[in-house]
Chains A and B, each alone.
Chain A
């Protein structure tokens, strides 16, 4: 009986290990992050271009010397409507592109791992209130920087640390422990680096978007490093799974 029992014990341990590895594998498929990052970057670049377009249009209006006094009010109203329409379009475009990023990442993200077969974990359980609180807390340092209560450096450090802490909070809720830990950790590291005065992208340019651009670039860099690092970890886990298969028929 004893050898049977120890054999059974070994079998249980092997299955327990397989369950753990499968869970880790499913939580570390990170290449879908690349799709989301690409769309966020394209979105940001297009937003900047649209903003430049508005500025150009307003400048052209202000520089128009031939405009008659009687036409000023009508033209001003038309220009205001035009700007409002463009702003509305920007907002819709931003929301739409973020939605698209999530949809595409969800639909095609796993296609990077098609050869391994398909495994899906249960849906994330992050409460909506957590997302709302994150969005508010995340926006406050930007608003304070805009109102010149905070310097760009401290504003950026705070935004990065809020994002980093939120990703670490998400790790179990969204069942993506390696991805959230690495991304959250990198964002926190970047926050410390920015706070300690290490130069950030665009720090020397007096540009309206230097804070937003620096944030997008730092976030995208952290995301890129995370996607690659977690993908390497994923491949190692997959190798272990296929090496330690319980049945080798």
Chain B
């Protein structure tokens, strides 16, 4: 397979291209929603790192965050938005095209 063209490289979504954010979106794309603890357990990130990348995805409107209290404990769940799913699928397709 030929090397990826510059256009292709530019076509890649920089927000999603980062490995942690790609992994977060991969998990969220399989589900309706997931909470912080689930993402933490499945991805193996530190709380701070996960929170930072989630904020980036939320700022890009790729995921929605909903917060509620379960008893006295705060509980935060995340779901991928329609835009996020579309961008993720487009990006994933690009990555598969580049793969040998």
Contact = CB atoms under 8 A, between A and B. Distances in A.
Interface of A: 1, 5-6, 8-9, 11-12, 15-16, 18-19, 22-23, 26, 116-123, 241-242, 245-249
Given A11-B19, A247-B20, A26 B46 contact: no
Contact of A247 (B29, B30, B44): B44
Interface residues of B, number: 33
10 contacts: A5-B99, A12-B95, A18-B26, A116-B37, A118-B33, A119-B33, A120-B31, A245-B44, A246-B23, A247-B19
Nearest to B49: A249
Interface of B: 3, 19-20, 22-23, 26-27, 29-46, 49, 75, 77, 95-96, 98-100
A12 B23 CA distance: 9
Given A9-B100, A246-B19, A249-B49, A241 B33 contact: no
Contacts of B33: 118-120
B85 to A, nearest CB: 12
Given A26-B30, A242-B42, 15 more contacts: A8-B95, A8-B99, A9-B99, A12-B95, A16-B26, A18-B26, A18-B42, A117-B35, A117-B41, A118-B75, A119-B38, A246-B23, A246-B43, A247-B43, A249-B49
B58 to A, nearest CB: 18
A242 B41 contact: yes
A116 B99 contact: no
B100 A119 contact: no
B23 A119 contact: no
Secondary structure of the B contact surface, majority rule? helix
B42 A22 contact: yes
A1 B36 CA distance: 35
A117 B32 contact: no
A194 B35 CA distance: 45
A247 B30 CA distance: 19
Contact of B36 (A5, A19, A117): A117
B99 A12 contact: yes
A121 B32 contact: yes
B99 A15 contact: no
B45 to A, nearest CB: 5
B1 to A, nearest CB: 9
A118 B77 contact: yes
Given A1-B3, A5-B98, A120 B32 contact: yes
Given A241-B42, A246-B23, A19 B29 contact: yes
A118 B30 CA distance: 13
A159 B22 CA distance: 47
Nearest to B29: A19
A175 to B, nearest CB: 10
